[in-house]
A and B are shown apart, each in its own frame.
Chain A
Amino acid sequence: GQNIDQPTEMTATEGAIVQINCTYQTSGFNGLFWYQQHAGEAPTFLSYNVLDGLEEKGRFSSFLSRSKGYSYLLLKELQMKDSASYLCAVREVDNQGGKLIFGQGTELSVKP
């Protein structure tokens, strides 16, 4: 089984930096993904970590510590359009190449 926890909601100011944390417990870890989802739309891929460390992609960075079962998504220079739900998803190994299990999502509100 698996357990993925992330805060339900966060608020930040335009131009600021925000860190969204995710902790997980899984029986067969094979990578952690972050997705962004605007209301009523499908999730869009942001980042992927399978080894420990930081992955940077423009204004977005994601960090992973496998020993601690911990990841965070860092968003810099926040813009109003970054208001969305951010989903942490763990790929769990199975006999079909793995499946993504999602956390509850963190609703981020960016205010002027």
Chain B
Amino acid sequence: GAVVSQHPSWVICKSGTSVKIECRSLDFQATTMFWYRQFPKQSLMLMATSNEGSKATYEQGVEKDKFLINHASLTLSTLTVTSAHPEDSSFYICSARKGSVSNQPQHFGDGTRLSIL
């Protein structure tokens, strides 16, 4: 089955630090990847859609300069949380779609729990 790997799984760092999260599709090519954020006891909120070779599309209210997304290859997308602050502490989850629209589900990485002190 389709596997999405996300790294790191857990990050604890000081306020002001920039943190990079990687999302890899291990056994398929993903033209499109998605980044979500999830606060405790809440659902997944889509932050941005990442497309290989082009700029990411951000959802309303998500700061582009704060959350930098790079999708340099068909198997790798990265999310960098720049100058992270305690309010950025959350569970960040990436997902990748195998193939084009059709009926393919999005497959999720295991998530990254980010804690900013």
Chain A residues packing against B (C-beta within 8 Å):
30-31, 33, 35, 40-45, 48, 50, 87, 94, 96-105, 107
Contact size range, B: 20 to 34
- Would you give the 0/1 interface string for B12-56, flagging 1 where the beta carbon is closer than 8 Å to chain A? 000000000000000000011010100001111110010100000
Contact across chains for A33 and B57 when beta carbons are under 8 A apart: no
Shortest beta-carbon distance from B78 to chain A in Å: 17
- Give min CB distance, A94 to chain B, whole Å: 8
- B residues contacting A by CB (< 8 A) are 6, 31-32, 34, 36, 41-46, 49, 51, 57, 91, 93, 95, 97, 100-101, 103, 105-111, 113
Give the CA-CA distance A30 to B106 in the complex, in Å.
Answer: 13
Determine which of B34, B42, B103, B109 lies in contact with A99 in the assembled complex, contact meaning CB atoms within 8 Å: B34
Q: Shortest beta-carbon distance, B97 to chain A, in Å?
A: 7
